[in-house]
Amino acid sequence: MNIIFNGQGTDVLDRFRKQAAAKLSRIERLEQKAIRVHVEVSTERNPRQSGRRERVELTIFSRGPAIRAEASAEDRYAALDMAFSKLESRLRRSGDRRKCRHAAHATRLDARNALSLIGGYDLVLDGSDNFETRYLVSDACFLAGKPLITAALGMFDGSLTTIRAHERNAEGEFNPTYRCLFPEPPPAGTVPACAEAGVLGALAGVLGSMMALEAIREIVGFGEGLVGRLLMVDARAMRFETLRYRRDPLNPLNGDALVITDLSGHR
């Protein structure tokens, strides 16, 4: 660990340096690698009382953007404790973010790449704003054997459901598909896309949070999910309703007569 000190009162800095080093060694264990820390110690005027306060600023430069925490107290050791607690909390939050991996796919989803892209994931969330993509994703998830959480928005309404059409329910029947709920897309031009009609950002946030909650449910497993249930949100009346739907034996995916066995019907 490399600690750089800058401060006043060199006669007491040695003892302060040892205490700071002991605390920052915990940070190094948290980071699991050597760190470089800048410690700034200064004295500032106390605006509320006569006298001065000790200010401690800790900055870590070990990776990426610098992470900084500072605190003031009448005693520099108390200020160190406060600054250290803030720094440790920020590092933990940063560490949690580093555990999440983000992979961007700079390509348009189509029939040629849908199965390869979707096949690399355990759970798919779809919030697309056109019917062509919704049907492509739902068909691809069925063929790839992946669960799908899909949500849609209107100007003042939204809906959400979970599709596990590749699995069977407790009665041994296949779960319903997206096409059991919406057999065919509406005629072109009859339902405007979000970009044309506009949506409420707050409503999109509500549906997005619900999708995230349903994703956690699918991963962890608790309560009753939305398989076979369509959750509908009416923002005008602030009303939530749930519609149950079942497998349609005539649906072309897992119906009695299989019609769709690949994505050749999509563009």
Q: Which residues are catalytic?
A: 194
The strand pairing partners of 70, in sequence order, are: 57
With tokens 């009382």, the residue in question is 49
The rounded distance, in Å, linking the Cα atoms of 229 and 172 is 18
Q: How many CB atoms lie within 10 A of CB 233?
A: 21
Asked whether 80 and 228 are in contact (CB, 8 A), the reply is no
C-alpha separations of 15 from 42, 77, 153 in Å: 16, 10, 62
β-pair type (148-153, 157-163): antiparallel
The rounded distance, in Å, linking the Cα atoms of 253 and 257 is 8
The rounded distance, in Å, linking the Cα atoms of 26 and 39 is 15
β-pair type (67-73, 52-60): antiparallel
The rounded distance, in Å, linking the Cα atoms of 3 and 38 is 6
The rounded distance, in Å, linking the Cα atoms of 51 and 44 is 9
